[in-house]
A and B are shown apart, each in its own frame.
Chain A
């Protein structure tokens, strides 16, 4: 059985239940039950109409649950007095679910968890494993998130930017585990792109595809990081790159630039270079300038300093870096890199070691320690 296909039906099934008058929290539980049931039953007895099967089973679960808990049902009746029935509008409910799960009243971690469950169809256990927290903790987080969005009208339009931020988080902060969160983020972004025609949705999808394309080359088998310049470009996924570039070009042609398109453009320029030395750093600096204009994010300026160092020489990079707050994350690592490019190996080694102490994750710490070690052993022998 194709579990991803099964999970892709989650949002539309959930949307149908909510349109029928089920409140979101109860409907979401019912759909989860139906998904679990499907995993159990389908291998031996696959239905002809998968979605219809899920709707039937989920609706029955919803009715059972609400009948079983009369007190709770009464409470829900009081809360949900507004008419929830009525003719279903032509709009697909999937998009509404994205908006609801990324509602601005939710904290980022709650929005991520709720999106993965209600839109992605992942179980609480899978989400808990992916984020390395106990299942009970994740269940509470999701439960609280559902209560938070309880009063939100399902049919009110949302802001696509909030959805994009949530999907970006899923992609970028995906930990290990059985679930490939980066892959899941791409799937959910593709699904969103099919629902809404927005250049930034396309920009984010392109950005994800272009980074996913490099994934195999990013780490050694032992888990250590391989910097962009040293990656075996033969291991980059050319199909993903081609798709990402095409999506990006169509988005850019609409002339409504946003931060995800700009980030994707930078990723595309890297993807475009047959070798690290052939990278078009001048254009990359220009894109960082655009990005800084769009977001005013100091991390962008830090990355820009690296690009300036490549385009105009290490001294120019160090000058750009000097204008930035040295407390910025990775500031020391960038300084170490630029000093090495400038030929000052002693300073670079000292800064790499210092950057390792400040590193936010183990892989980066080990990588920076290796950089320090590389320079130290080179200087000694």
Chain B
């Protein structure tokens, strides 16, 4: 099993095919979209592949250490940031192919006109813990 992060972006991803902002959809189209996402997560829970899903608010801040005894420096939010993460889903699947298959399904969530958004999702493998058996048996 391997864990993958499916990342959804507010900004920074290539433009999707069905690129209409959500507040221009009909309320029914929004409901259908929300339902699709929920059904998707439920289905993954049933197949034993769902780990976590979270959405992020668009506005945040940059923070860094500013030396001993000083409060951290905060900066932002920067409206012009090129890349803005909207949320993620973590899945635990048997193969990279399965991760891609699921990302493809998630990207088919309906948008304006009830048609799939074709939204670009970023698929990133987790760096896993080292395996217990570290020697290679074939060369050992």
- Which residues of A approach B to under 8 Å, CB–CB? 222-224, 349, 352-353, 356-360, 362, 365-366, 369-370, 372-374, 376-377
Which B residues fall within an 8 A CB radius of A? Answer: 22-27, 29-31, 34-35, 38, 55, 57-59
Contacts of A357 in B (CB 8 A): 57-59
Q: Give the chain B neighbours of A374 by CB distance below 8 A.
A: 26-27
- Contact indicator A362/B23 (Cβ below 8 Å): no
Report if A362-B26 is in contact (Cβ < 8 Å); known contacts: A222-B34, A222-B38, A223-B34: no
Extra inter-chain contacts (14) besides given A349-B23, A358-B57, CB under 8 Å: A222-B34, A222-B38, A357-B57, A357-B58, A359-B57, A360-B57, A365-B55, A369-B23, A370-B30, A373-B25, A373-B27, A373-B29, A376-B24, A377-B27
* 9 pairs, CB–CB < 8 Å, chain A vs chain B: A222-B38, A223-B38, A358-B59, A360-B57, A365-B55, A373-B23, A374-B26, A377-B24, A377-B25
Which residues does chain B contribute within 8 Å of A377, judged by CB atoms? Answer: 24-27
Min CB–CB distance A350 → chain B (angstroms): 9
Q: How far is the CA of A242 from the CA of B24 in the complex (A)?
A: 43
Interface centre among B23, B26, B35, B55 (most CB of A within 10 A): B23
Interface pair B59/A373, CB less than 8 Å apart = no
Complex CA–CA separation, A369 to B58 (angstroms):
14
Q: In the complex, A200 Cα to B24 Cα: how many Å? A: 46
B38: chain A residues within 8 A (beta carbon): 222-223
Query: Measured between alpha carbons, how far is A360 from B59 in the docked complex, in Å?
Result: 11
Partner of A369, one of B22, B35, B57: B22
Pick from A352, A359, A365, A373: contact of B24, CB under 8 Å: A373
Q: Is the CB of A224 within 8 A of B34?
A: yes
With contact pairs A357-B59, A358-B59 given, residues A222 and B31 touching in the complex (Cβ less than 8 Å): yes
CB of B124 to closest CB in A, whole Å:
22
Given the complex, which residues of B lie within 8 Å of A356, measured CB to CB? 23
Q: Is the CB of B34 within 8 A of A373?
A: no
* Minimum C-beta distance from B60 to chain A (A): 12
> Complex: how many Å from CA A306 to CA B25?
27
Alpha-carbon separation in the docked complex, A360 to B57 (Å): 7
By a CB distance below 8 angstroms, the chain A residues around B25 are: 373, 377
Write out the residue numbers on chain A whose beta carbons fall within 8 Å of the beta carbon of B27.
Answer: 370, 373-374, 377
State A224–B27 Cα separation when bound (angstroms).
11
Bound form: Cα–Cα A356–B59 in Å? 12
CB-CB < 8 A to A376: which residues of B? 23-24
B89 CB, min distance to chain A CBs, angstroms: 13
Smallest Cβ distance from B28 to chain A, in angstroms?
9
Whether the pair B55, A373 counts as a contact (CB closer than 8 A) is no
A136 shortest CB reach to chain B, Å: 16
- Cα separation A36 to B59 with both chains bound (whole Å): 44
Q: How far is the CB of B103 from chain A (nearest CB, A)?
A: 21
State the CA gap A219–B88 with chains docked (Å).
24
Assembled-state Cα–Cα distance A222/B27 (Å): 13
CA separation between A352 and B25, bound complex, in Å?
14
**With A223-B38, A357-B58 as given contacts, are A366 and B26 in contact (CB-CB < 8 Å)?**
no
Which residue in chain A gives the minimum CB-CB distance to B24? A376
Residues of A within 8 A of B26 (CB): 373-374, 377
CA–CA, A357 to B77, complex, Å?
A: 13
A222 closest partner in B (C-beta): B35
Instruction: Provide the residues of chain A in CB contact with B59, threshold 8 Å.
Output: 357-358
What B residues does A360 contact at CB under 8 A? 57
Contact A224 B31 (CB under 8 A): yes
The 4 A-B pairs with the shortest beta carbon distances in the complex, nearest first, are A372-B23, A353-B23, A370-B27, A377-B26
Chain B: CB-nearest residue to A221: B35
Chain A residues, Cβ within 8 Å of B24: 373, 376-377
Min distance, Cβ A195 to any Cβ of chain B, angstroms = 39
